[in-house]
Structure 1
Amino acid sequence: MPEVAIEIVAHEELTSSDLEGLRRLFDAEYLDDFGEWDPDKPYGYAPHALHVIARRGGEIVGQVGWARRTIAVGGAEIEIGGVGGVLISDAVRGERVGSRLMSAVAESMRGANGVAFGYPGCREEVVSFYASCGWTRISAEERSIDTSGRPREDPPGQPLLILPVEGEIADWPVGAVDLRGRAW
Structure 2
Amino acid sequence: MSEDIRWEVVEESALTLPDHEAIAAMLGQAFPSWSHWYVGGRDYAGMQPERRVVGWGADGTVLAHVGIRRMFITVGGQDVLVGDTGIVAVSPRLQGSGVGRELLVRTRAVLEGLRVPYGFLGAGEDRIPFYAHMGWHEVDGAVGTFSAFTADGVGVNETEQGGWMVLPVEAQLEDWPTGEIMLNGQQV
Q: Same fold (TM over 0.5)?
A: yes
The number of equivalent residue pairs is 180
Q: Which amino acid aligns with 1:52?
A: V
Alpha-carbon distance between aligned partners in 2 of 1:138 and 1:63, rounded to the nearest angstrom: 24
Alpha-carbon distance between aligned partners in 1 of 2:158 and 2:92, rounded to the nearest angstrom: 33
Q: 1:97 maps to which residue?
A: 99
Q: 2:144 maps to which residue?
A: 142
Contact 1:31 1:37 in 2 (8 A): no
Q: Which amino acid aligns with 2:170?
A: E
Displacement of 1:32:
5.3
Would the alpha carbon gap of residues 54 and 41 (structure 1) be closer, same or farther in structure 2, given more than 3 Å must change?
Answer: closer
Q: 1:181 maps to which residue?
A: 185
Displacement of 1:16:
2.5
Displacement of 1:90:
2.5
Alpha-carbon distance between aligned partners in 2 of 1:92 and 1:119, rounded to the nearest angstrom: 25
Q: 2:4 maps to which residue?
A: 3
Alpha-carbon distance between aligned partners in 2 of 1:109 and 1:32, rounded to the nearest angstrom: 29
Q: Which amino acid aligns with 1:82?
A: D
Contact 2:29 2:35 in 1 (8 A): no
Q: 2:27 maps to which residue?
A: 26
CA deviation string 1:125-179 (max 9, x = no partner): 111111111100112221211124112233x4x2111000111110101111111
Structure 2: gaps (5+ residues): none
Would the alpha carbon gap of residues 103 and 131 (structure 1) be closer, same or farther in structure 2, given more than 3 Å must change?
Answer: same
Displacement of 1:2:
5.3
Question: Which structure 2 residues correspond to residues 110-149 of structure 1 after superposition, within 5 A?
Answer: 110-113=112-115, 115-139=116-140, 140-147=142-149, 148-149=154-155
Question: CA RMSD of the aligned region, Å?
Answer: 2.0
Displacement of 1:40:
6.1
Identity, % of aligned pairs? 25
Q: Which amino acid aligns with 2:62?
A: I
Alpha-carbon distance between aligned partners in 2 of 1:145 and 1:106, rounded to the nearest angstrom: 25
Q: 2:111 maps to which residue?
A: 109
